[in-house]
Amino acid sequence: MSAKSFSRIKVTAVLFLFLKIQPSVQAPLNGTKWSYIGPDGEKTWPQKYPFCGGGFQSPIDLHNNILQYDSTLLPLELIGYNMSTTDQLALTNNGHSVRVGLPPTMYIRNLPFQYTATQLHLHWGNRKKPEGSEHTIHGKHFAAELHIVHYNSDKYPDVTAAMDKSDGFAVLAIFIEIGPFNPSYEKIFSHFQNVKYKGQKAQVPGFNIQELLPKNMNEYYRYEGSLTTPPCYPSVLWTVFRHPVHISEEQLLALETALYCTRFDDPEPLEMVNNFRHIQEFEERLVYVSFHEVAERTKKTTKVSSTSQQLTMKMTEKTTKVSPTSQQLTTRMMIPPKYELYLITESAFHSWDLTEICPGQCFSSLLQGFKTLSETEA
Ligand SMILES: [Zn+2]
């Protein structure tokens, strides 16, 4: 479709996605206990937390077949990351990880919304198998992974309100590998002895949090996924940096051995190790990359784009006033897979059952189709 022919079509359509069947999300009946091993391990998460068994889950393996270069992915602008040493940050052992609370003066500026920092935490393996990153690249784990969690403060008053919204969170993920001693990470790690057990808290003097990120921040993977811990809401815009940061072997060992999932007085102490979720299926979705060295995608993804094209065609045939902006299209369903698509235009109302025209989880294809559509129009 030529740009000219399309420009005649007035951009007035508003796209809404409504769940056809929306199972109620109730508080888990058997408490909120979950873990990485044992009877409450990740295989059982979906029983108590339905989203963990749903779509758009994280982490994922980042491999060529699903990657697509996107020239619009600019370096992130991190504001307020350079904290004063007189500020105090709360370090906590929450029984699943060690986390550092972050102040609302820290935020990311140049995403579709302003995302304000709330906390950072780590995922790691164990001393015998130091492969504890959540995301993998071509099937390869890194030793550990840092997550810096931000919530959409343009749209939501706090983390709790943002948590279950499709555009609620933006998380920065940083791979950690063994290398030279890292004095910046030590600013957190040196306090581990004070938070050995679940529920313990300590204070960490402020520092430049950006030092925890790789020097080259221009190259990253971007995709829409989920929290990697229960309740696994598909609410995260992920930025996974391509280049790892390094910490020394001793520092990694401290991370792998210093902490416990259990409380101080627990008669059966459980070491905090292997606190990473395994990779999740990633079908018919794409990961956008800000860098060029990506091999040609295979037939599988070619099929995806042709599906989206067909879908685009199919939908434009039915209405002459369809051209939602990509922002409207970033709406994700919170509970797949049964939902309906409604297109409301100036003069008409159309609805389709997506499970009919878009079998399987091809929602990404749909978004891709509309993205193409709106780009063509522009
Ligand atoms: Zn995490």
* Tens of pLDDT, residues 54-98: 999 999 999 999 999 999 999 999 999 999 999 999 999 999 999
- What confidence score (pLDDT) does residue 21 get? 28
Distance CA 291, CA 63 (A): 14
Stretches in the chain below the pLDDT threshold 50: 1-31, 295-362, 367-378
- What confidence score (pLDDT) does residue 133 get? 98
> Is-contact 262 271, C-beta < 8 A?
no
The CA 121 to ligand 1 mean position distance, Å, reads: 6
- What confidence score (pLDDT) does residue 350 get? 37
> Residue 9 gets which letter from DSSP?
S
- What confidence score (pLDDT) does residue 292 get? 86
- What confidence score (pLDDT) does residue 147 get? 98
- What confidence score (pLDDT) does residue 35 get? 97
The CA 369 to ligand 1 mean position distance, Å, reads: 31
pTM above 0.75, yes or no: no
CA dihedral for 265, 270, 272, 278, sign (positive or negative): negative
The CA 147 to ligand 1 mean position distance, Å, reads: 5
Distance between start and end Cα atoms, the chain = 12
- What confidence score (pLDDT) does residue 32 get? 62
In the residue annotation, 138 being an active-site residue is answered as no
The CA 264 to ligand 1 mean position distance, Å, reads: 24
The CA 332 to ligand 1 mean position distance, Å, reads: 21
- What confidence score (pLDDT) does residue 104 get? 98
Q: Count the neighbouring beta carbons within 10 Å of the beta carbon of residue 137.
A: 16
| Single-letter residue type at 262 | T
The CA 229 to ligand 1 mean position distance, Å, reads: 7
Q: How far is CA 33 from CA 44, 237, 270, in A?
A: 11, 26, 15
- What confidence score (pLDDT) does residue 28 get? 35
pLDDT tens-place string over residues 28-44: 333 468 999 999 999 99
The CA 142 to ligand 1 mean position distance, Å, reads: 14
The CA 276 to ligand 1 mean position distance, Å, reads: 8
Beta bridge partners of residue 140, listed in sequence order? 137
Residues with CB under 5 A from ligand 1 (ion): 147
Specify the CATH number of the domain 42-289: 3.10.200.10
Q: How far is CA 7 from CA 323, 351, 376, in A?
A: 10, 24, 9
- What confidence score (pLDDT) does residue 285 get? 86
- What confidence score (pLDDT) does residue 79 get? 98
206 CB contacts (<8 Å, ≥6 apart)? 83, 84, 85, 86, 87, 88, 89
Q: Which one is catalytic: 96, 243, 246, 350? A: 96
